[in-house]
Amino acid sequence: MSSNPLLDQAAADVLRPDYDRSKIEARMCHIGFGAFHRAHQAVYTDDVLRAGGTWGYREIELRGPSAPLKALAERDYLYSVVENAADGQKARISGAVVDHRHMEECGSEGIIAAIADEKIALVSITVTEKGYTLGADGGLDFNNPAIKADLENPDQPRSVVGTLVAALAARKRAGQKPFTVLSCDNLPSNGKLARRAVIDFARARDRGLADWIEEHGRFPSTMVDRIVPAMTEESYRLLAERIGTEDPAGIVCEPFRQWVIEDDFVSGRPDWDRAGATFTDDVVPYENMKLRMLNGSHSFLAYLGYLGGYETIAECMQDPAYRKAARDLMGQEQIPTLEAPEGIDLDDYADALITRFENPAIRHRTWQIAMDGSQKLPQRALESIAHHLKSGSPCPRLTLLVAGWIRYVAGTDDKGAPIDVRDPLADRLKTLANGGSSREKVERVLSGSGIFPEILRESVDFRQSLAESLEGLGRIGARKMVAQLG
């Protein structure tokens, strides 16, 4: 017997590691053992290991150990993944993780040493938009309390950026190559954002270190795609039934996955292309396609669906008006703003997205997608609206999306029930979005939120159409406004 409950009790058709795990080395660190990483990068890595690779992950948490990380360590770094489709589930046990470190166990010194380890060739991150601690100008936010604290105590960092710089500084002192920083967050040009944050911090700490990182460091951009809903009691039950045992580190996700990676690494990389990833010189067309078509329509469904009483994306898609509006948003208002990546038909991509959204086995909550809208809307909707303003073309669905967001952050749904708004600007947005006429709310939000580009703020036509959409949402509700799109 293996004495590992995942291996001992897993159903016979659960895919198990078929490789010698003793030969896997911790060649990569990942900061933040979150759900998306478990369902995405670590699954690709597990597939490469099955194909003969030897690179594994060292998981890093900058706080105490999360419940999933504790469970992972207790099960010899194995965890389960269930791909949940409308016609059934496929399950695997992943062996891509080798070891871990967390702040409570080894402190800042141990975290830095674990990342700076000469064998570590790359450090990947999935820390959400907030983890980059960037300001409105795109540079590091030096007023962020975590950044201030880390600059005062650079050898005791708590922020992601401060930790990366401390580890890179250790590599420089040891006369070693830097590691590649691989951003896997859902942000446009995420590698450039990571690079800017790291170099800004390094320059404030040590100009020579910043120059060394600029010359030798690598920060490839990526586009990542897989729908991974937050785990619930229901999804944990489904996982236990499918795997054959409980797994607090396990994850349930959709079958589809995609990873496009800029092929620019300083110290080597795994052959993720053997697991289906795409390496390219230019990620931008892929990320714009995904951010505007998938994420933009997701945000449309999230805000207008939540306001209208729909709990999940799949429920929204059962409403013919919402389904049509999401498809038309992609086809009529997002595709015209895009350059299609080579070999991809954007209309086919849109149809595939609708099929994914309709998957009743994935309970992706509208409330979850609606989080942090102030940091997501610029790339998902506002850049596209600017395109339409310049070209003189209408974009009623994108406008209604923004109106839905304004009504959502005001804090009550169509039935008057309070909304638990999760956003870094939640308090400010609630103040801006309440009180006065729809036009007054629009003027306050556009001028006071800090997220709208000048072309939107100054457009009389956009301000008017946005106010009309917001007024309509207050008068007849989200469902009727979506239905009126036709």
pLDDT digits (tens, 9 = 90+) for 381-425: 999 999 999 999 999 999 999 999 999 999 999 999 999 999 999
| Residue 2 clears pLDDT 60, i.e. is over it | no
pLDDT grade for 137, boundaries at 50, 70 and 90: confident
Distance of CA 183 to the CA centre of its chain: 10
Task: State CA 303 to chain mean position distance.
Answer: 18
Name the 3-class secondary structure at 117.
coil
In CATH terms, are 5-280 and 284-484 the same topology? no
Give the pLDDT confidence of 470-484 residue by residue, as tens digits.
999 999 999 999 999
CA nearest neighbour of 178 among 153, 205, 202? 202
Rounded CA separation 322/465 (Å) = 20
> β-strands 258-262, 97-102: how paired?
unpaired
- What is the overall mean pLDDT for the chain? 95
pLDDT value at residue 107: 94
Task: Measure the CA–CA gap between 291 and 186, rounded to whole angstroms.
Answer: 8
Q: Give the integer Cα–Cα distance in Å for 313 and 364.
A: 6
Over residues 16-35, the mean pLDDT reads 95
CATH of span 284-484: 1.10.1040.10
pLDDT tens for 302-343 read: 999 999 999 999 999 999 999 999 999 999 999 999 999 988
Residues with Cβ < 8 Å from 349, sequence gap 6 or more? 289, 293
459/445 Cα distance (integer angstroms): 14
- What is the DSSP secondary structure assignment for residue 127, as one 8-state letter? -
| Closest by Cα among 291, 27, 185 to 161 | 185
Instruction: Retrieve residue 477's tokens.
Output: 């509700």
Cβ atoms < 10 Å from Cβ of 286: 23
Contacts of 253 by beta carbon, 8 Å cutoff, 6+ apart: 39, 81, 82, 83, 84, 226, 227, 228, 229, 362
Say whether pLDDT at 289 is over 70: yes
Q: 339: buried, middle or exposed (CB in 10 Å: 19+, 13-18, 0-12)?
A: exposed
Amino acid at 445: V
Question: Which CATH number applies to 5-280?
Answer: 3.40.50.720
Tell me the per-residue pLDDT of 90-120, one tens digit each, with 9 for 90 and over.
999 999 999 999 999 999 999 999 999 999 9
Could you report the per-residue pLDDT of 359-372, keeping only the tens digit for each?
998 889 999 999 99
CA distance 297 to 327: 8
In degrees to the nearest 10, what's the CA dihedral of 426, 131, 282, 264? 180
Looking at residue 486, its pLDDT comes to 83
Between CA 289 and CA 224 the distance in angstroms is: 12
Cα–Cα dist 193/187, whole Å? 9
- Rounded to 5°, the CA angle 208-210-214 comes to 120
Any idea what DSSP says for residue 411?
A: T
State residue 472's pLDDT score.
98
CA dihedral 299, 303, 308, 314 (to 10 degrees): 30
Please, which residues bridge with residue 412 across strands? 418
Domain boundaries, the chain: 5-280, 284-484
Mean pLDDT in residue range 40-54: 97
